[in-house]
């Protein structure tokens, strides 16, 4: 079984969610959010790193998926979000996890079917897909959605791997001729 840690980075609240893949089934392991408060920014980054490192050591995921930074109107907010994301990535890399990145649009499209879905729609779909008794908080729902997006992309990649000999590829030309 494969465990995937999803992360929704934030400089004050970082969502996390872990799912487990059992063949074609997805099971919920844990979800929540790290609340790092209003302290010094460097201290908050350290709390994100340490908190996620603890979660990784406790639940032993095999890989990590994280939401990419989207553009903010406020440059300072974008920089802080990018640094929080960096702290989260460093936590994964320090524990030898492969890290995969997805845009918010990719994640929403994968789990709701609409790349511009609202947070409430993502929360609802996570409760349905994972058979949760209650809606996860926004940040945790986004993290779970990120993990599920990676599970779907990884499964699709496995099914579409080329069956051709090494070095061979199909041509983009009509007719599907093989080429080197």
- Give the separation between CA 175 and CA 157, rounded to whole angstroms: 23
Residue 22 is a catalytic residue: no
Which residue in the list 138, 139, 142, 158 is annotated as catalytic? 139
| 65 three-class SS | strand
52-77 burial code (b ≥16 CB/10 A, e <16): bbebbeeeebebbbbbebeeeeeeee
| Number of Cβ within a 10 Å radius of residue 78 | 14
| Number of Cβ within a 10 Å radius of residue 49 | 19
- Supply the DSSP symbol for 169: E
- Give the separation between CA 104 and CA 78, rounded to whole angstroms: 14
Residue 8 is a catalytic residue: yes
114 burial class (0-12, 13-18, 19+ CB within 10 angstroms)?
exposed
- Give the separation between CA 129 and CA 22, rounded to whole angstroms: 14
Residue 158 is a catalytic residue: no
- Identify the bridge partners of residue 34 per DSSP, sorted by sequence position: 14
List residues with catalytic annotation: 8, 67, 139
């Amino acid at each position: 079984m494969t465990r995937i840690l999803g992360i929704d980075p934030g400089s004050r609240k970082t969502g996390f969610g872990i799912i487990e893949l059992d063949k074609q089934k997805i099971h919920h392991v844990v979800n929540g959010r790290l609340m790092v408060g209003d302290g010094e920014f460097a201290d908050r980054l350290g709390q994100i790193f340490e908190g996620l490192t603890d979660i990784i050591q406790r639940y032993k995921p095999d890989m990590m998926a994280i939401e990419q930074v989207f553009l903010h109107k406020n440059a300072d907010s974008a920089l802080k979000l990018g640094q929080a994301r960096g702290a989260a990535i460093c936590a994964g890399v320090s524990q030898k996890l492969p890290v995969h990145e997805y845009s918010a649009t990719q994640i929403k499209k994968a789990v709701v079917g609409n790349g511009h879905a609202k947070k409430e729609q993502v929360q609802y779909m996570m409760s349905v897909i994972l058979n949760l008794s209650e809606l996860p908080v926004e940040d945790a729902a986004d993290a779970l959605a990120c993990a599920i997006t990676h599970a779907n992309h990884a499964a699709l990649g496995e099914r579409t791997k080329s069956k051709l000999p090494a070095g061979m590829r199909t041509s983009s030309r009509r007719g599907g001729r093989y080429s080197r």
